[in-house]
Structure 1
Amino acid sequence: MTTDPLRPTPGQLAWQQDRMGVFFHFGINTFHGKEWSDGTLPASSFDPAELDARQWVRAAQLAGAKYVVLTAKHHDGFCLWPTATTDYSVASSPWQDGRGDVVAEVAQACREAGLKFGLYLSPWDRNAACYEDAAAYDAFYLAQLSELCTRYGTLHELWFDGAGSEGRVYDWARIGAVIAELQPQAMVFNMGPATIRWVGNEDGLAEDPVEYVVSSTAVSNYVSDSETLDEEAYLPPECDVSLRPGWFWQPAEEPKSLEHLLAIHYRSIGMGANLLLNLPPDSRGLIPDADLARLAEFRAELDRRFGKPMEARLTDLGDGEWELDFGREVLLDHVELGEDLTEGQRVARHSILGKDGEVLAAGLTVGSQRLHAVVPHRARRLRVQLNVDAARLAFARAYDTGGAQVPVIEYTAPTHRPED
């Protein structure tokens, strides 16, 4: 942390307050049991007979998401909208006799439901004949980005995946100019004119500290010209993870267990990061029943644990110490803190003290939200000690979850699944 921390933009703060979004990985791979494909799978195989974008969005709402990110184009180059740039798109498929537009349907469903809408546009394109000609492909890619930025309303997030782009330099200055002109409010994920960054693994897990000011977006397996920043920047992280083992639907796979999802919640949102949970529609164009059932189970347990917060009145006691007053004696086993980030992230270390001064919990950063499980404790007041007097708390809450356990899941080295 710097002594005079960088301040977030209002858009970054609003994005952090969303806490959770949903990814939809859907495309030509869905119909071939693949995670990555090489751009040669026939467009004629894309035919989701029962596609229902409203059902997808209902699933996102069930999960508790505030925004959606759709894979408009994955690495294979197949486009989910009728683009003028290539024949490799829904316009060449039998779905809706070639007149369909998946991006438009999901955008409309999000608008109807009040969810924010974002898009993933892979820079790597294994179908485009012009890909090896950097100048020609830059123009091709800018045309695709411009179509997406002008046809589907306000975009909340633009997601750029660096996989497959090792050693490739894209024209990020021109890409950034298009975004600045057409979708200036959009959060930009990890590449080019980034305003948010990758957490560093695909397991949805953050580590303590979760720092919002960084000097690099460089992480294993993501190599791009945007890795080393010219100067430090405020870039809060997003934790991406799939409900299933793969990103695209595979008929033999099952959703993660409830315990696994809870562990992800504690280690992403509970650490001060955002969570982007992938829900892959199947070849019918629907979120599978088993996935919906697991999401309902997940939502019910989160509501049971955290649906009845006990809000504390905050008093700044000076010297980095704050009093939390619940107005009455309460029984609690979880405490959630939020830092006032309007002046930047300042808390690098904190502790929560019980009524007799004992340490109930301690950690490094607080950020937009920090969740601690504690030994069940009965008190009216708690104290929080922060490492600097200039830091301010925005809120504090306590929960009585009945002694709910905190599942522990370790993450593995970040990988992209190879072609099957």
Structure 2
Amino acid sequence: MHSLKATPEQLAWQADRMGVFFHFGINTFHGKEWSDGTLPAQSFNPTELDAEQWVRTAKEAGAKYVVLTTKHHDGFCLWPTALTEYSVASSPWKDGKGDVVAEVAAACRKLGVKLGLYLSPWDRNAECYADSKAYDEFYLGQLRELCSNYGQLHELWFDGAGSEGHEYDWARIAALIEELQPGAMVFNMGRPTIRWVGNEDGLAADPVEYVVEQTDFSNYTVVTTKLEEALYLPPECDVSIRPGWFWHADQEPKTLEHLLAIYYRSVGLGANLLLNLPPDTRGLLPEEDVRRVREFGAEVTRRFGSPLPAAVRELGKGRWELDFGEPVTIDHLLLAEDLSDGQRVRGHRVLSDDGLLAAGKTIGSQRIHAFPAATVQRLTVELEAVDGARLAAVDGFRTGAESIPEVAYLAPTDYPEDH
């Protein structure tokens, strides 16, 4: 465990806990996950597109930010870029005068949700991609458009898929971000400030360490990159509500139980969760997905929205007390570490008068424990930690759900064949 400190922007991002991904583009209209850059721009035509519906649904899920795929690996751009004709400007949607990025940005401003953008480094349409220097100019130009024209960005998402062996000018990319969007979190590539958890099931594992010396950067063929130095890089767990990332008519959303299991194994272990909600060919989130997301958001709020009143005090020597003032029945406990001086807790135990109630390794921005209902008045939290470790919160809950649901893992073969 290292004691490297987070920036204020990283701490603010971690406090968000959850965001929503929107995978939308030319693939949506062809039932594809990946396409090769040859699908006709004229096939992009979402006649009912409603970005406010997307962002409102994300907010109902509990998300504080969204990330939109402005350009996937096929190279089709959801904004009228000046650098290629392969964009919404060449589509019949709004007679070629539409801008999906602008509509999502406007919805985020209206509804108070933070905006993040995904710009695939790999581009299967750009003729200059094989020429690294020429493509660097092309890519930097696209990134400059996105960083200049849509307001403050909360996150920039760089996907490593397809980039094995290709060199990008990450120093110039980082300089551009520092110039135009210095507060944006940078996902996983170049000079990252947050990292990929290493799978697409949305699952972290204990311990969740924020300071790492290497990171996995490719979401499909996992490639591990050794960093020049240890960095504070909290993880983001990405997962789609459906088997695919783009919308497919024959797919259904995950069950409420599955989504809750993912929440416990991401947010509940101190990572952020990025849940993908794919709009359909109308440009709307499907009704069944909206219903499921509302159920999920409501259940998370029901379980963790109202902690039982209690007093927390430090006892010294890595020990903390939670006093409810009278006997209460609880089945969940949420711990949060004060991360202002870095992540310091290596392990922890929660004790009641009857013995061990819960235990684990890291705590981080939040750690959720579920256990059979227990009646307690006081709890003691013991930390195995670097000197100076402090807790920011200890909260007890009576939810009626006394166990963490099991996760139905998705193997790669569960994704569409062209994934």
TM range (shorter): over 0.9
Kindly indicate whether residue 370 of structure 2 is the aligned counterpart of residue 373 of structure 1.
yes
What's the TM-score once normalised by structure 1's chain length?
A: 0.96
Q: 1:142 corresponds to which residue?
A: 140
Q: 1:105 corresponds to which residue?
A: 103
- Please give the alpha-carbon distance, in whole angstroms, between the structure 2 residues aligned to 1:304 and 1:72: 34
Deviation string, structure 1 residues 206-246 (Cα, Å, up to 9, x no partner): 00000000001136656799921111000000000001110
Secondary structure at 2:377's aligned position in 1? Answer: strand
**Farther-moved stretch of structure 1 (339-348 vs 299-308):** 299-308
Q: 1:402 corresponds to which residue?
A: 400
Q: 1:30 corresponds to which residue?
A: 28
Deviation at 1:326, TM superposition (A): 2.1
Q: 2:350 corresponds to which residue?
A: 352
Q: 1:268 corresponds to which residue?
A: 266
- Please give the alpha-carbon distance, in whole angstroms, between the structure 1 residues aligned to 2:50 and 2:168: 35
- Please give the alpha-carbon distance, in whole angstroms, between the structure 1 residues aligned to 2:409 and 2:231: 26
Q: 1:56 corresponds to which residue?
A: 54
Within 5 Å, which residues of 2 pair with 1:172-191? 172-191=170-189
Deviation string, structure 1 residues 19-48 (Cα, Å, up to 9, x no partner): 000000000000000000000000000000
Contact 2:373 2:402 in 1 (8 A): no
Within 5 Å, which residues of 2 pair with 1:241-390? 241-356=239-354, 358-388=355-385, 389-390=387-388
Deviation at 1:311, TM superposition (A): 4.4
Secondary structure at 1:315's aligned position in 2? Answer: strand
Contact 2:196 2:216 in 1 (8 A): no
Secondary structure at 1:348's aligned position in 2? Answer: strand
Deviation at 1:99, TM superposition (A): 0.2
What's the TM-score once normalised by structure 2's chain length?
A: 0.96
Q: 1:419 corresponds to which residue?
A: 418
Kindly indicate whether residue 230 of structure 2 is the aligned counterpart of residue 232 of structure 1.
yes
**Farther-moved stretch of structure 1 (117-126 vs 164-173):** 164-173
Question: Counterpart amino acid of 1:208?
Answer: D
Out of 65, 73, 89, which is 2:71 matched to?
73
- Please give the alpha-carbon distance, in whole angstroms, between the structure 2 residues aligned to 1:162 and 1:65: 24
- Please give the alpha-carbon distance, in whole angstroms, between the structure 2 residues aligned to 1:353 and 1:262: 26
Question: Counterpart amino acid of 1:177?
Answer: A
Secondary structure at 1:22's aligned position in 2? Answer: strand
Deviation string, structure 1 residues 329-375 (Cα, Å, up to 9, x no partner): 2110000000000000000100100123x110100000000000022
CA 1:303 to 1:224, structure 2 compared with 1: closer, same or farther past 3 Å?
Answer: closer
Secondary structure at 2:227's aligned position in 1? Answer: strand
- Please give the alpha-carbon distance, in whole angstroms, between the structure 1 residues aligned to 2:19 and 2:94: 28
CA 1:73 to 1:219, structure 2 compared with 1: closer, same or farther past 3 Å?
Answer: closer
Out of 198, 201, 208, which is 2:199 matched to?
201
Deviation string, structure 1 residues 96-118 (Cα, Å, up to 9, x no partner): 00000000000000000000001
Contact 2:160 2:217 in 1 (8 A): no
- Please give the alpha-carbon distance, in whole angstroms, between the structure 2 residues aligned to 1:136 and 1:369: 44
CA 1:224 to 1:202, structure 2 compared with 1: closer, same or farther past 3 Å?
Answer: closer
Question: Counterpart amino acid of 1:59?
Answer: T
- Please give the alpha-carbon distance, in whole angstroms, between the structure 1 residues aligned to 2:389 and 2:126: 50
Unaligned runs of 5+ in 2: none
State percent identity of aligned pairs: 68
Deviation string, structure 1 residues 161-198 (Cα, Å, up to 9, x no partner): 00000111111000000000000000000000100000
Kindly indicate whether residue 125 of structure 2 is the aligned counterpart of residue 131 of structure 1.
no
Q: 1:121 corresponds to which residue?
A: 119
Secondary structure at 1:303's aligned position in 2? Answer: helix
- Please give the alpha-carbon distance, in whole angstroms, between the structure 2 residues aligned to 1:403 and 1:52: 36
Secondary structure at 1:244's aligned position in 2? Answer: coil
Number of corresponding residues: 417
Secondary structure at 1:298's aligned position in 2? Answer: helix
Contact 1:36 1:418 in 2 (8 A): no
Contact 1:138 1:170 in 2 (8 A): yes
Deviation at 1:305, TM superposition (A): 1.8
